[in-house]
């Protein structure tokens, strides 16, 4: 099923000449536009409204007017392949990247004043090699105003939860890649922050470590914490997330629960057609005298192809057109 969804929303570095706007995405945007001005949201942890990022030097628009909201105690997934805009979105929300336009509200505060309410775990492991795993957790707890001396169970519980009991007192330089990712996740969860950003938390880890990280995330949402994670793993989002959005070329293509998206996009077939960007010599009309005439003839053939497909499949729907 997820392969079908992925094919339905292909990633292409080129700008689409036509984009099908999903009705659920429009509804999500409408709700976000109403919530962004709500100064006292009761059940919403994060609202993102028309967030965009353009890299001027490269001439690339990485994120294009995305809008969504995350409820308190919800695990929310940003799904997409590499280059879809997931990490750029995270970097804007955490302040690592300056947004081109748009805004976000974290709880009752706008992004510029509410960033102290969120915790960010990046793709790389921000760990000090000379410190032990327990010392790293104690350091992060102290930075968040949590005293581990008064309540040593805080560290013990989080260490047990992510499965680091055997190596917690060893220098982190001796940790395997999987243990480093578990420690990074534990560092994000310690102190029970209300909003947690996890950028591909299980990337490159073994199955056993992945299950430990998943259980830690589930425990956080059961405690009422909101978790937003990026992933290119369909199984991960389906297992953890109560709501996901699928990004492609910086645009939200669909939104909903995993079960809803499976029911919506798991039926039928997807037809992808690739054609040459120029007219072969055998199709060139002898009356063509210029590049402009050739372009017109090219577009006419494309329109004829569309008509033929519509005749063959009367109920088909054009979703994307790239050139």
Per-residue pLDDT tens digits for 68-84 = 999 999 999 999 888 88
Is pLDDT larger for residue 14 or for residue 281? 281
Q: Which of 5-19, 162-176, 298-312 has the lowest mean pLDDT?
A: 5-19
> Who's near 36: CB < 8 A, 6+ residues apart?
47, 49, 103, 104, 105
Residues 220 and 250 reside in one and the same domain: yes
Instruction: Verify that 190 and 224 share a domain, yes or no.
Output: yes
Contact partners, residue 16, CB within 8 Å, separation at least 6? 249, 320, 321, 322
Does residue 274 fall inside a structural domain?
Answer: no
Same domain, 172 and 310: no
Whether 63 and 206 map to the same domain: the answer is yes
Place of tokens 């947690």: 196
Q: Which residues, 6+ apart, have CB-to-CB distance to 64 below 8 Å?
A: 52, 85, 249, 250, 251
Helices (H), the chain: 2-8, 23-35, 86-94, 111-114, 133-143, 153-162, 177-189, 207-222, 234-240, 258-265, 291-312
pLDDT at 25: 94
Q: Lowest mean pLDDT of 49-53, 112-116, 126-130, 239-243, name the range.
A: 112-116
Angstrom distance (rounded) from CA 307 to CA 217: 49
Write out the residue range of the structural domain in which residue 133 sits: 2-265
Confidence bin at 317 (pLDDT 50/70/90): confident
Clarify whether residues 73 and 138 are in a common domain.
Answer: yes
Q: Is residue 139 part of a domain?
A: yes
Give the up-direction half-sphere exposure of residue 242: CA atoms within 13 A in the CB hemisphere.
Answer: 13
Distance CA 153, CA 134 (A): 12
What is the Cα–Cα distance from 6 to 186, expressed in whole angstroms?
31
- Of 9, 2, 8, the closest CA to residue 239 belongs to 2
Mark whether 142 and 288 lie in a shared domain: no
CA distance 323 to 318: 15
Q: Look at residue 252 in the predicted model and tell me its pLDDT.
A: 94
- The answer to the question of residue 273 being in a domain is no
Number of domains in the chain: 2
Q: Are residues 181 and 125 in the same domain?
A: yes
At 74 the pLDDT is: 95
State the average pLDDT over residues 21-35: 92
Q: What is the mean pLDDT of residues 13-18?
A: 47
Shared domain check, 312 and 227: no
User: Mean pLDDT, the chain, as a whole number?
Assistant: 84
Which tokens go with 121? 């775990």
With cut-offs at 50, 70 and 90, classify the pLDDT of residue 220: very high
Tokens 């790239």 identify what position?
322
Do 226 and 318 lie in one domain? The reply is no
190 is a domain residue: yes
Residue 247 has pLDDT above 50, yes or no: yes
211 neighbors 107 (Cβ within 8 angstroms): no
Q: What percent of the chain has pLDDT over 70?
A: 89
176 and 119 in a common domain: yes
Contact between 246 and 5 under an 8 Å Cβ cutoff? The reply is yes
Same domain, 190 and 235: yes
Where is average pLDDT lowest: 134-143, 239-248, 291-300? Answer: 291-300
C-alpha distance from residue 29 to each of 97, 107, 212, 242 (Å): 22, 18, 34, 18
**CB–CB of 232/200 below 8 Å?**
yes
Q: Do 32 and 144 belong together in one domain?
A: yes
The model's confidence at residue 279, banded by pLDDT at 50, 70 and 90, is low
Structure tokens at 245: 């959005």
- Give the pLDDT score at 283: 59
Q: Residue 13's pLDDT band (boundaries 50, 70, 90)?
A: very low
Residue 271: inside a domain, yes or no?
A: no
Query: Is residue 16 pLDDT above 60, yes or no?
Result: no
pLDDT of residue 145: 84
Minimum mean pLDDT among 204-208, 217-221, 254-258, 272-276: which range? 272-276
Six-digit token string for 141: 């707890």
How far apart, in whole angstroms, are the C-alpha atoms of residue 162 and residue 136? 14
Residue 185, pLDDT > 80, answer yes
Confidence of residue 2 (pLDDT cuts 50, 70, 90): very low
Q: Give the closest residue to 134 by CA, choosing from 207, 193, 187.
A: 187
């Amino acid at each position: 099923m997820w392969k079908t969804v992925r094919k339905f929303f292909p990633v292409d570095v080129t700008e689409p000449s036509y984009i099908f706007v999903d009705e659920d995405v429009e509804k999500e945007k409408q709700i976000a536009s109403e919530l962004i001005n709500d100064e006292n949201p009761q059940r919403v942890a994060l609202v993102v409204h028309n967030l965009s990022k353009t890299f001027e030097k490269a001439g690339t628009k990485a994120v294009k007017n995305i809008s969504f909201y995350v409820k308190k105690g919800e695990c929310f997934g940003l799904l997409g392949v590499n280059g879809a805009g997931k990490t750029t979105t995270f970097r804007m929300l955490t302040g690592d990247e300056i947004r081109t336009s748009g805004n976000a509200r974290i709880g009752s505060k706008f992004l510029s004043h509410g960033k102290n309410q969120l915790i960010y775990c990046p793709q790389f492991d921000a760990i000090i090699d000379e410190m032990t795993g327990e010392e790293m957790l104690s350091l992060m707890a102290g930075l968040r105003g949590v005293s581990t001396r008064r309540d040593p169970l805080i560290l013990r519980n989080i260490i047990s939860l992510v499965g680091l009991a055997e190596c917690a007192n060893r220098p982190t330089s001796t940790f395997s890649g999987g243990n480093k990712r578990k420690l990074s996740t534990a560092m994000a969860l310690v102190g029970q922050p209300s909003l947690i950003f996890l950028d591909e938390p299980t990337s490159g880890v073994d199955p056993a470590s992945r299950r430990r990280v998943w259980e830690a995330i589930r425990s956080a949402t059961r405690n009422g914490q909101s978790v937003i994670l990026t992933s290119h793993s369909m199984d991960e989002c389906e297992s953890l997330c109560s709501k996901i959005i699928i990004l492609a070329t910086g645009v939200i293509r669909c939104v909903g629960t995993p079960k809803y998206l499976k029911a919506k996009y798991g039926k039928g077939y997807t037809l992808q057609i690739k054609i040459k960007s120029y007219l072969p010599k055998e199709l060139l009309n002898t009356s063509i005298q210029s590049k402009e005439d050739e372009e017109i003839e090219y577009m006419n053939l494309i329109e004829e192809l569309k008509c033929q497909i519509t005749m063959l499949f009367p109920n088909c729907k054009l979703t994307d057109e790239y050139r």
